[in-house]
Structure 1
Amino acid sequence: MSNKRIKAVDFFCSGGGMSFGMQEAGIEILAGIDFDEKCKDTYEANIKGAEFIHEDVFNLKEEQLEEKLCLKRDDDDLLLIGCSPCQFWSIINTDKTKSAKSKNLLIEFSRFVKYFRPGYVVVENVPGVLRRKEESGLDEFIDWLKNNGYENPHFKVHNVNDYGVPQNRKRFTLIATRISQDEIKPLELGGKKAVVRDFLGTDKGFSKIAPGHKDDSDFLHTVPNISDLNKRRLQKVDKDGGDRLGFADDPELQLNCFEGKDDSFKDTFGRLWWNKPAPTITTKFFSISNGRFVHPEEDRALSIREGATLQSFPLTYKFKGTSVANIARMIGNAVPPKYATAIGKAIIKNHK
Structure 2
Amino acid sequence: MNDIENRLKAIDFFCSGGGMSYGMLKAGIDILAGIDIDMSCKDTYEANVKNAQFIHADVFDLREDELERKMNLTKNDNNLVLIGCSPCQFWSIINTDKTKSQKSKSLLIEFSRFVKYFMPGYVVVENVPGVLRCKEESGLSSFISWLTATGYKVHFEVHNVVDYGVPQNRKRFTLIANRVTDINIIPIKQKGEVKKVKDVIGEHNGFPRIEAGHKDKSDFLHTVPRLSDINKKRLKKVSKDGGNRLEFANDPELQLNCFIGKDEAFKDTFGRLWWDKPSPTITTKFFSISNGRFTHPEEDRALSLREGATLQSFPKDYKFIGTNIAAIARMIGNAVPPEYATAIGKAIIKSQKNAI
TM-score, structure 1 normalization: 0.99
Gaps of 5+ in 2: none
Gaps of 5+ in 1: none
User: Residues 84-123 of structure 1 correspond to what in structure 2 (within 5 A)?
Assistant: 84-123=86-125
Superposed CA offset, 1:49-91 (max 9, x none):
0000000000000000000000010000000000000000011
1:18 matched residue in structure 2: 20
**SS of equivalent to 1:174:** strand
User: Among the aligned pairs, what percent are the same residue?
Assistant: 73
Give the Cα–Cα distance (whole angstroms) in 2 for the partners of residues 227 and 99 of structure 1.
Answer: 31
TM-aligned CA deviation for residue 132 of structure 1 = 0.7
Give the Cα–Cα distance (whole angstroms) in 1 for the partners of residues 126 and 256 of structure 2.
Answer: 38
Give the Cα–Cα distance (whole angstroms) in 2 for the partners of residues 339 and 234 of structure 1.
Answer: 33
**SS of equivalent to 2:218:** coil
Give the Cα–Cα distance (whole angstroms) in 2 for the partners of residues 222 and 303 of structure 1.
Answer: 5
Give the Cα–Cα distance (whole angstroms) in 2 for the partners of residues 13 and 144 of structure 1.
Answer: 24
Superposed CA offset, 1:141-193 (max 9, x none):
0011011110x200000000000100000000000000000000000012101
2:231 matched residue in structure 1: 230
Root-mean-square deviation over aligned CA pairs: 0.8
Contact 1:2 1:351 in 2 (8 A): no
Give the Cα–Cα distance (whole angstroms) in 2 for the partners of residues 63 and 272 of structure 1.
Answer: 48
1:269 matched residue in structure 2: 270
1:212 matched residue in structure 2: 213
Give the Cα–Cα distance (whole angstroms) in 1 for the partners of residues 51 and 129 of structure 2.
Answer: 32
**SS of equivalent to 1:220:** coil
Contact 1:194 1:277 in 2 (8 A): yes
2:200 matched residue in structure 1: 199
1:74 matched residue in structure 2: 76
Give the Cα–Cα distance (whole angstroms) in 1 for the partners of residues 172 and 76 of structure 2.
Answer: 28
TM-aligned CA deviation for residue 195 of structure 1 = 0.7
Give the Cα–Cα distance (whole angstroms) in 2 for the partners of residues 252 and 149 of structure 1.
Answer: 64
1:163 matched residue in structure 2: 164
1:57 matched residue in structure 2: 59
Runs of 4+ in 1 over 2 A off after TM superposition: none
Superposed CA offset, 1:278-297 (max 9, x none):
00000000000000000000
2:287 matched residue in structure 1: 286
TM-score, structure 2 normalization: 0.98
TM-aligned CA deviation for residue 2 of structure 1 = 7.7
Contact 1:161 1:169 in 2 (8 A): yes
The counterpart of 1:44, out of the listed 43, 46, 56, is 46
1:241 matched residue in structure 2: 242
Superposed CA offset, 1:194-213 (max 9, x none):
11001110011100000000
Give the Cα–Cα distance (whole angstroms) in 2 for the partners of residues 136 and 108 of structure 1.
Answer: 11
TM-aligned CA deviation for residue 94 of structure 1 = 2.7
Contact 2:89 2:95 in 1 (8 A): no
